[in-house]
Amino acid sequence: MLFFLVVSVCLAFSASYEFLEWTAAVAIGSDADAFLGTQGDIWDSHWDVLMATVGAVVAQLMLPGWHDRQLKRFVE
C-alpha cells in the first residue's frame, strides 16, 4: 500500500503544479509561452507528470536498500 500512496502523492504534487502553471498562463495571457518554457511542445505537461511517475516508481524500486542502510547507520 505504501508504494501506491507514494506514487499517488507524487502524481498529486505534479498535477497540482501543472494546474498552477496553467492558471498563471491564463492570467498572463499572450506571454504564457515565454513563462511556461514549453518550446512549442503541446505535451509538455503530460511529459512532466509522466516523468514524476517514472521517478517515483524507479526511486522506490532502486533505493530501498540504500535507505535501509542509511537508517541503520543513523540508529547505531
pLDDT in tens, 53-74: 999 999 999 998 898 898 898 8
Q: 4-43: per-residue pLDDT in tens?
A: 999 999 999 999 998 988 888 888 776 766 767 767 778 8
Q: What is the DSSP letter of 53?
A: H
CA-derived radius of gyration, the chain: 17
**Which pLDDT band holds residue 52 (cuts at 50, 70, 90)?**
very high
d(CA 43, CA 41): 5
CA-closest candidate to residue 18, choices 43, 54, 55, 1: 43
d(CA 19, CA 36): 12
Q: What is the DSSP letter of 63?
A: S
Number of domains in the chain: 1
pLDDT of residue 39: 73
CA-closest candidate to residue 21, choices 52, 13, 71: 13
Question: Whole domain around residue 28: which residue ranges?
Answer: 2-75
